[in-house]
């Protein structure tokens, strides 16, 4: 399996994140690339096959945040199955390795959360809100 150029790796609470980070403050949108800015909180991800990781096409993160992957429970995020701290930046093709493999026909959420003094507690910290006024989160369908 080729990963291309991987510019960083981090291990935290059983999750690993590998990313191709851009040094630009904004990626311009096109037919296949959304417009994202380092001055916003946003996540783009598509339906994908079951495996032990989630691929996020783009993540814009204007402050240090915790990227959390959670199982779906009746249309709302539930059990955390992976998380990693991300520094400020715009990321393309970010891979979050999860604590467990995913099953076909399930849904997960990837959400950016605030941090308190560089620490994260899902019971305390709130989801990040993007410039659009929406939570910086994406719902991802796992399918064959």
* CATH code, domain with 56: 2.60.40
Q: Are 45 and 54 in contact (CB under 8 A)?
A: yes
Q: Which domain holds residue 130?
A: 8-22+34-142
Whether residue 28 lies inside any domain: the answer is no
| Residues 123-138: tens digit of each pLDDT | 999 999 998 899 999 9
| Residues 52-93: tens digit of each pLDDT | 999 999 899 999 999 999 999 999 999 999 998 899 888 888
pLDDT of residue 89: 86
Whether residue 111 lies inside any domain: the answer is yes
Q: Are 47 and 144 in contact (CB under 8 A)?
A: no
pLDDT of residue 12: 31
Whether residue 39 lies inside any domain: the answer is yes
Two tokens at 93?
């093709």
């Amino acid at each position: 399996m080729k990963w291309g150029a991987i510019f960083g790796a981090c291990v935290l609470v059983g999750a690993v994140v590998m990313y191709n980070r851009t040094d630009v403050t904004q990626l311009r949108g096109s037919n296949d690339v959304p417009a994202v800015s380092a001055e916003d909180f946003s996540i783009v991800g598509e339906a994908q096959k079951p495996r032990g990781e989630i691929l996020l096409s783009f993540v814009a993160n204007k402050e240090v945040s915790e990227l959390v992957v959670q199982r779906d429970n009746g249309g709302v995020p539930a059990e955390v199955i992976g998380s990693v701290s991300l520094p400020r930046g715009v990321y393309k093709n970010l891979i979050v390795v999860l604590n467990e493999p995913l099953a076909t026909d399930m849904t997960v959420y990837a959400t950016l959360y605030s941090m308190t003094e560089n620490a994260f507690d899902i019971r305390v910290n709130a989801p990040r809100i993007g410039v659009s006024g929406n939570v910086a989160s994406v719902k991802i369908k796992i399918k064959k």
